[in-house]
Amino acid sequence: MYDLIIIGGGPAGLTAGIYAVRYGLDTVILEKNVLPGQIAATDLVENYTGFTAISGPELMQRFKEHAEIAGVKIESADVYSVRSDSGKKVVMTDSGDLEAKTVIIATGANPKKLGIPGENELMGRGVSYCATCDAPFYKGKVVMVVGGGESALTDALILSNIVKKVYIVHRRDKLRASRILQQRVSKKDNIEIIWDTVPEKIEGKTGVENVILRNLKTEKVYSMPADGVFVYIGIHPNTDFINVKKNSSGFIVTNEKLETSLEGIYAAGDCRDTSIWQVVTAVADGAVAAVSAHEYMMDLEFAR
């Protein structure tokens, strides 16, 4: 039986592993991908403290190497479920069941995609899901934001302070974002909303050049030049396998110690209900979750 099983080998999981082994916990990280984490799909990272610029894959590789040097055990496994059984935690995987005294869920989340031609091909080369990460690359350029919710308008405002022009492409004739965000957007001269419209194709050779749009009311199809496309049609947390308290979108609800509704099970990073999804906050979550798991282990020892 392990002291701690960490499910997910992204920034939160690897950081949790580093802290856990430093506390002397017998720990294993379970991860199904070779290079996990949303950050691994980011072309360039410029907002992680200590690095003026580093590619997403390289940053993830450095996280992984640090964890391995620290003595963190990482195994390839796909987790099907987690349950509590007589005080222990049972983690069911494609390689069999594993047992632990504590578990940290660090499985992250994935942005929902448009599913149109050109999106995957130009990801990281004009197609982005994070203005906080990538806005500086588009200084003085023209970009599109797809979506009409809180994230779409928030990031459109971020972009508007950097780029020349922001087009918000929304499939409806009303925005879903809060009134205050809508008011802020309406006051921006360089933000324009394209109503009742969806993108059908993203075109470009080495980067985004044009977007094919279709008006849902008139069925008119036309091309519009753009240097970047930012997609905000939702984010899906990888939490279906665990039965704990979640919010309406499936993100795990935790307290300040990152405890879930199940004793001895913690959540860290993008899979939990949080105000911001960034690599720096995921790393912080990993540290907090590991410290909390260690405190829980100490309480178990003293209770004997």
CATH number of the domain encompassing residue 29: 3.50.50.60
Residues 246-291: tens digit of each pLDDT: 999 999 999 999 999 999 999 999 999 998 888 999 999 999 999 9
pTM: 0.77
> For the chain, how many structural domains are there in total?
2
Residues 17 and 53 in one domain: yes
Domain C-terminal end among 203, 231, 259: 231
Cross-strand bridge partners of residue 79: 93
Residues 30 and 136 in one domain: no
Sheet strand arrangement including 127-128: 127-128, 228-231, 142-146, 165-169, 191-194
pLDDT at 43 exceeding the cut of 80: no
Residues 76 and 215 in one domain: no
Specify the pairing of strand 73-76 against strand 27-31.
parallel
Residues 45-56: tens digit of each pLDDT: 878 899 988 888
- H/E run at residue 190: none
Residues 155-206: tens digit of each pLDDT: 999 999 999 999 999 999 999 888 999 999 999 999 999 999 999 999 999 9
Read off the tokens for 84. 């509590």
For residue 163, the enclosing domain spans: 113-231
Residues 163 and 181 in one domain: yes
Domain C-terminal end among 231, 251, 277: 231
Distance CA 280, CA 268 (A): 12
Residues 25 and 56 in one domain: yes
Specify the pairing of strand 109-111 against strand 73-76.
unpaired
Neighbour count for residue 77 (Cβ, 10 Å):
20
pLDDT of residue 303: 63
Contact predicate 146/233, CB 8 Å: yes
Tell me which residues are annotated as active site. Answer: 130, 133-134
Residues 35 and 56 in one domain: yes
Distance CA 4, CA 55 (A): 30
Residues 75 and 126 in one domain: no
Domain C-terminal end among 231, 253, 278: 231
Rounding to the nearest 10 degrees, give the CA dihedral for residues 240, 245, 247, 249.
Answer: 0
The CA distances from residue 207 to 67, 119, 138, 233, in Å, are 34, 11, 12, 21
Residues 124 and 102 in one domain: no
Residues 100 and 247 in one domain: yes
pLDDT of residue 41: 65
Distance CA 122, CA 114 (A): 13
Residues 173 and 274 in one domain: no
Residues 47 and 98 in one domain: yes
Question: Which residues, including other chains, have CB under 8 Å from residue 130's CB and lie 6 or more apart?
Answer: 42, 155, 230
8-state DSSP, 178: -
Residues 135 and 226 in one domain: yes
